[in-house]
């Protein structure tokens, strides 16, 4: 639990750092803020430049909202309080690319034709021609031979010039992410993207190491709108499951102005409530990641009816063994015993993995299996600067290793090395919904995101992540838009959702908060006989004893004949009573609004989140509509987004802000020494707070001594339960 808490707070720091995008100049701390104004932001810019020469206006926003990004020292920013047009300020947030390294992570110069490519998802003859796709990311290697034809321009919001090239090693921690994303969308060479003739525009908002701020992301969204993009892809985000202030509004504003905004759902699965902003924006199309058809190495003992999955080590040869092998315990070998032609088994030790691998290799082993010395999975790496490892190396969990060891102790033991077809399902790393407070179903759809080959500077590479799933959907929209230039964005989005194929495991459909509507089916969406608008039924939260909830669904008949539809009655569940039309007819090319009612009794239903699926039928066709409703309480994070910073317009007080997803009896923040973890003092204490955003002010003397602190945030819920999270804060 403690490790899970620390992991959550590590990503919380990425989302809401107390002093983000800070730089040091001559030992003086500078701070960047986003300011909202209630008049022409360019006039405010002129006033700042005329009367506050030591403050730099970093960016001006007049499309997504009216405001500016400014940078300066605290005492300089404090003077902006005299400007009457200023109505609100926002701390700058940090955004990060979200790829995970694939098992085979090496960059290759030429693609193997046997590897699947993104275009395999597009079985149509269309290629996204004349559709403009903006990639807000780390930039693009526009010199890559697979991207030269499609790259049309862009802008760099890290260096503020018209050269959105990826970060090179000379400039800092190099990046490859944006090039990989662009190749999935519109690669046109050895890699064929989903829409290989789409026009790609690069907006570099993330710099060295794939990190950037809301200043750059907002500016990139504005520029994409100005450049009249048809589609924007954002394979970036954070893990805080609450509405995301200016960036979320920018996403929704871009949607209102006619752009389809596709966003990666996040890589913090498989737990619920892990979808991160800005994928939580209600007008975004957020994308979860599915696995891809591939073979996975396993050990199989048919006599014992046991299979053991192998996790390949980074830096080792691919595990492609398919035969029966003797397994030998390398830690307890008999004198003179040979490993020639055998698989070695060894327990994790203090020595490096590559030394264990080289030892097994030198003894003639065909491969090495390392089992963990503690419960849980083990990701090994044999990368080293001494000598490459030339045999396959894999890891297994402690329990499995001890079982194999027990078999070896009984005598000579053979086991089968098998390449097993992997189950096509949602990738375990893919973030899950729902969205806290709004109780919304996210992701919206899913797409391939595991071991995806695409372009990178210098060649090609496989990556995992919802970052890879999102551009599949962006490319799919480009193809759909070419096929149906007269369709509205709502029709395009509705078609892709309507025709998605839900995942099932052991004949049970996965929840929609895991997969959205399911895996996109581009060919089906191209010629769908019906479009269901907003098919996710989000009924909300029951607070009273019994309530009736209503959702409306609009269905469009895209055929030339009248069609009659009907719902299968949903599975009966005590405490839920449905009122659904038995059947209805829609005329050709017409739309009809259908009302679905759900009555819920809180005493006859367990507390928490309840979700399921309704089935709509027309002839032999069926359509899946997911629903979600919350009975009284849910297990979502109760606190998030704690900010604590020096009030720039006063230069005397600290402003704090946090978000609650439900009523709490008490809320307090205690400070601890970040290294010794000794208690220092209590910073804040409040009682009986309602759900929503809370903010306040602390005087400098109340904040206490300066320095960095580990802040333990404790919330007592109405039922007496305690929730605690941690973050770091800085007091000047």
Catalytic (active-site) positions: 137, 177, 467
CA dihedral angle for residue 168, residue 172, residue 174, residue 178, rounded to 10 degrees:
-80
Residue 517 near residue 538 (C-beta atoms within 8 A) = no
Cα–Cα distances in Å, from 444 out to 110, 276, 484, 662?
A: 34, 13, 21, 25
Q: Which helix (H) or strand (E) holds 355?
A: helix 353-362
Q: Rounded to 10 degrees, what is the CA torsion of 89, 94, 98, 101?
A: 180
**Which residues, 6+ apart, have CB-to-CB distance to 377 below 8 Å?**
311, 395, 397
Q: Which of 229, 223, 228 lies closest to 204 in space, CA to CA? A: 223
The total number of residues written for the chain in this structure: 732
Whether the Cβ atoms of residue 289 and residue 464 lie closer than 8 Å to each other: yes
Residue entry with tokens 């390449």: 419
Contact call for residues 298 and 457 (beta carbons, < 8 A): no
**Torsion sign, CA atoms 602, 606, 611, 613:** negative
Q: Which residues are CB-neighbours of 512 under 8 A, at least 6 positions away?
A: 433, 441, 502, 536, 611, 613, 626, 627, 628
Could you tell me the two tokens for 20? 């983000």
Burial of 432 (0-12, 13-18, 19+ CB in 10 A): buried
Show the tokens assigned to 273: 């409530």
Would the CA dihedral through 502, 505, 510, 515 be positive or negative? Answer: negative
The burial of 717, by beta-carbon neighbours within 10 Å (0-12 exposed, 13-18 middle, 19 or more buried), is given as: middle
Report whether 216 contacts 61 (CB < 8 A): no
Q: d(Cα 461, Cα 141) in Å, to the nearest integer? A: 14
Helix (H, G, I), strand (E, B) or coil at 473: helix
- Provide φ and ψ at 369, rounded to 5°: -115, 125
Tokens of 176: 């490859």
CA–CA separation, 454 and 153 (whole Å):
20
Would you say 431 and 466 are in contact if contact means Cβ atoms under 8 Å apart? yes
First to last CA, the chain: 32
Q: Give the helix/strand (H/E) hosting 231.
A: strand 231-234
């Amino acid at each position: 639990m403690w490790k899970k808490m620390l992991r959550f707070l590590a990503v919380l720091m990425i989302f809401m750092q107390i002093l983000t995008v800070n730089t040091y100049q001559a030992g003086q701390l500078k701070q960047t803020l986003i300011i909202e104004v209630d008049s022409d932001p360019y006039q405010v810019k002129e006033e700042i430049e005329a009367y506050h020469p030591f403050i730099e206006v970093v960016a001006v926003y007049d499309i997504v909202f009216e405001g500016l990004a400014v940078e300066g020292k605290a005492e300089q920013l404090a003077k902006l309080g005299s400007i009457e047009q200023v109505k609100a300020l926002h701390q700058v947030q940090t955004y990060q690319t979200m790829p995970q390294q694939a098992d085979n992570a090496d960059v290759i110069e030429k693609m193997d034709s046997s590897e699947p490519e993104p275009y395999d998802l597009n079985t149509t003859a269309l290629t996204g021609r004349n559709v403009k796709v903006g990639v807000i990311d780390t930039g693009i290697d526009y010199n890559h031979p697979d991207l030269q034809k499609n790259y049309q321009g862009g802008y760099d919001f890290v260096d503020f010039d018209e050269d959105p090239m990826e970060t090179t090693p000379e400039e800092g921690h190099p990046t490859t992410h944006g090039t990989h994303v662009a190749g999935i969308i519109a690669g046109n060479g050895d890699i064929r993207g989903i829409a290989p003739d789409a026009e790609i525009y690069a907006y570099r908002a993330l710099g060295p190491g794939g990190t950037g701020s809301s200043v750059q992301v907002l500016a990139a969204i504005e520029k994409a709108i100005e450049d009249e993009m048809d589609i924007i892809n954002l394979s970036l985000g954070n893990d805080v499951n609450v509405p995301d202030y200016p960036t979320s509004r920018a996403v929704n504003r871009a949607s209102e102005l006619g752009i389809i905004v596709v966003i990666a759902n996040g890589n913090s699965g498989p737990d619920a409530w892990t979808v991160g902003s800005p994928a939580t924006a209600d007008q975004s199309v957020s994308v979860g990641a599915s696995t891809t058809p591939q073979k996975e190495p396993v050990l199989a003992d048919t006599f014992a009816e046991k299979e053991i999955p192998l996790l390949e080590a980074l830096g080792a040869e691919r595990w492609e063994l398919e035969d029966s092998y003797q397994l030998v315990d390398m830690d307890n070998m008999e004198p003179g015993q040979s490993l020639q032609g055998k698989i070695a088994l060894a327990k994790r030790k203090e020595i490096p993995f590559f030394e264990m691998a080289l030892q097994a290799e030198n003894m003639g082993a065909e491969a090495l299996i390392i089992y963990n010395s503690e419960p849980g999975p083990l990701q090994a790496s044999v990368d080293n600067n001494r000598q490459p490892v030339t045999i396959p190396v894999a890891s297994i969990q402690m329990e499995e290793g001890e079982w194999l060891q027990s078999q070896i102790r009984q005598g000579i033991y053979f086991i089968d090395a098998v390449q097993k077809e992997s189950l096509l399902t949602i990738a375990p790393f893919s973030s899950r919904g729902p969205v806290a407070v709004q109780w919304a179903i996210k992701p919206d759809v899913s797409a391939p995101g595991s071991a995806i080959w695409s372009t990178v500077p210098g060649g090609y590479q496989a990556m995992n992540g919802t970052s890879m799933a999102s551009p599949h959907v962006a490319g799919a929209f480009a193809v759909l838009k070419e096929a149906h230039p007269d369709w509205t964005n709502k029709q395009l989005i509705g078609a892709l959702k309507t025709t998605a194929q839900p995942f099932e495991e052991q004949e049970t459909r996965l929840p929609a908060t895991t997969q959205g509507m399911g895996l996109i089916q581009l060919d089906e969406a191209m010629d769908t006989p019906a479009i269901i608008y907003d098919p996710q039924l989000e009924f909300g939260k029951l607070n009273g004893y019994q309530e009736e909830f209503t959702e409306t669904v609009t269905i469009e008949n895209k055929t030339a004949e009248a069609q009659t539809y009907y719902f299968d009655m949903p599975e009966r569940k005590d405490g839920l009573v449905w009122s659904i039309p038995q059947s209805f007819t829609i005329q050709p090319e017409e739309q009809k609004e259908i009302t679905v009612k759900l009555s819920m009794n809180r005493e006859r239903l367990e507390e928490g989140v309840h979700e399921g699926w309704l089935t709509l039928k027309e002839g032999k066709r069926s359509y899946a509509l997911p629903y979600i409703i919350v009975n009284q309480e849910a297990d979502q994070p109760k606190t998030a987004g704690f900010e604590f910073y020096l009030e720039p317009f006063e230069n005397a007080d600290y402003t704090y802000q946090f978000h609650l997803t439900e009523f709490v009896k008490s809320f307090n923040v205690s400070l601890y020494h970040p290294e010794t973890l000794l208690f220092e003092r209590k910073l804040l204490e409040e009682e009986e707070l309602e759900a929503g955003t809370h903010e306040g002010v602390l005087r400098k003397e109340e904040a206490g001594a300066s320095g960095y602190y580990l802040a333990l945030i404790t919330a007592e819920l109405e039922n007496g339960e305690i929730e605690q999270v941690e973050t770091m804060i800085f007091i000047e």
